[in-house]
Amino acid sequence: EDQVTQSPEALRLQEGESSSLNCSYTVSGLRGLFWYRQDPGKGPEFLFTLYSAGEEKEKERLKATLTKKESFLHITAPKPEDSATYLCAVPPRTGGGNKLTFGTGTQLKVEL
Amino acid sequence: DTGVSQDPRHKITKRGQNVTFRCDPISEHNRLYWYRQTLGQGPEFLTYFQNEAQLEKSRLLSDRFSAERPKGSFSTLEIQRTEQGDSAMYLCASSLARDTTYEQYFGPGTRLTVT
């Protein structure tokens, strides 16, 4: 069964203190890895899709990277508004439909 | 607003009652998904539709749960004889199956509380 593990479970940063979140997966023949942001009481908001090792994508203070075994979400000079839970997810190796298997997320809090 | 919408946003019900949730996907999206999320966990897949056909159901989806997507547009998720363990956030997502683009876009969710 596909597994996705995220670490750390929770992270507290000071404003401007850069860090990285990790997402490791066991799916072979990866067909994509997705990053989402989720604010309390809301649905996940799509951030990035990565398809192949070495690929990188950026959006404002966020940069996602992918290797053959894991993905990192780098947060550069975070602001309090970056506080949220960050989820990663993968589709199954085979089959259609693209149902996603999610990790449990990293809860990020950025303080002034 | 062209995003995914869900109704109601919150539902409180007594154990044993039936509840129904609605999801309206992004208009041009042909795939629609239902997920369930409990506190501290990531969303868990329940079922998905391509157009009006229900193509996959998770083993999490007991016989008390039924989902429909008539005419391939909006979808409903019904839970019969609710139990306290059904309390969760129910999320709907949609996507457009095209080439290798699979991004799913989520709605705001329906928070169900069973008392």
Q: Do B106 and A89 touch (CB under 8 A)?
A: no
Phi, psi of A94 (to 5 degrees): -130, 165
Reported as a single tens digit per residue, the pLDDT across A40-88 is 999 999 999 998 999 999 999 999 999 988 999 999 999 999 999 999 9
- Residue to mutate among A50, A99, A102, with most B CBs inside 10 A, is A99
Partners of residue A96 in chain B, C-beta under 8 Å: 50, 55, 97
Nearest to B21 by CA among B114, B112, B115: B112
pLDDT at B28: 87
Residue type, A7: S
Which residue of chain B has the CA closest to A34? B103
How confident is residue A99, by pLDDT bands cut at 50, 70 and 90?
confident
Phi, psi of A78 (to 5 degrees): -65, 155
Nearest to B40 among A4, A96, A104 (CB): A104
Total count of domains within chain A: 1
pLDDT at A1: 67
pLDDT at A13: 97
Q: What is the CATH number of the domain that holds A103?
A: 2.60.40.10
Average pLDDT of the segment spanning A13-37: 91
DSSP A100: P
| Across A40-49, A100-109, B14-23, B57-66, least confident range | B57-66
Domain that holds residue A103: 4-111
Whether residue B69 lies within 8 A of chain A, CB to CB, comes out as no
pLDDT at B1: 55
